Copies of this chain bind each other. A is one copy, B any other.
Amino acid sequence: MQLFKDKIIELGKVYPGNVLKVDSFLNHQVDVILLGYLADELHKMYKEMGITKILTIETSGIMLACLTAQKFEVPMLFAKKARTSNLSEEVYSAPVFSYTHNREYTIIVDKNYLSKEDRVLLVDDFLANGCSLRGLWELVQKAGAVAVGAGVAIEKGFQGGGDMLRDMGLRVESMAIIESMDKDGILFRN
């Protein structure tokens, strides 16, 4: 999506360690008008797919998920990061490894809110190594629901997570796929 790529070029800042800082419009201060366009685009791409629920993970996937759910007129559900390993019987859980914080944590959703009738669109702000989306996908599978696909704002293509998920059979649509980036600039795939 060109408008969004332009915004990344204009405001994104690249730091060592594959860090792309976009907190002026995506994940701290949030340009909800822009995110609304992304949500429109995801709606166009998936509107024939019978989506019944939007699933994301706290915290920064929530904004895009919320606006996307609005377009589809379905509920949004966000997986929580469990603060304890002592989980109740009433949740589906999955492990997620965070490279940012270099540790594994557990994400959970209440079993009441995912069922085998659900056709789920996974949404997140970033896709890098794919761990978060894999965790969300696992929650959907545990519920016996269908993961119709994923919608992502920024995919770091060079980290391979998106292509891994596509190879595993998940449809993944990203509004901007970064092929490479460094202090001199950002190159997008196609």
Contact = CB atoms under 8 A, between A and B. Distances in A.
A78 B109 CA distance: 23
Contacts of A23: 110
B69 A32 contact: yes
A26 to B, nearest CB: 11
Given A24-B113, A70-B67, A32 B75 contact: yes
Contact of A66 (B58, B63, B73): B63
Contact of A110 (B25, B28, B59): B28
A29 B63 contact: no
Describe A's contact surface by its main secondary structure.
mixed
A177 to B, nearest CB: 25
A30 B78 contact: yes
A35 B66 CA distance: 10
Given A62-B66, A66-B66, A76 B32 contact: yes
Nearest to A71: B32
A80 interface: yes
Contacts of A30: 66, 69, 75-78
In this complex, the interface size class of chain A, counting residues with CB under 8 Å from chain B, is: 20 to 34
Given A23-B110, A59-B58, A28 B67 contact: no
A112 interface: yes
B32 A66 contact: yes
Contacts of A29: 75-77, 110, 112-113
Contacts of A113: 24, 28-29
A30 to B, nearest CB: 4
Contacts of A58: 58-59
Contacts of A62: 59, 62-63, 66
Given A28-B109, A59-B59, A59-B80, 15 more contacts: A24-B112, A28-B78, A28-B113, A29-B77, A30-B66, A30-B76, A30-B77, A32-B70, A32-B76, A33-B73, A58-B59, A59-B78, A62-B66, A66-B67, A67-B70
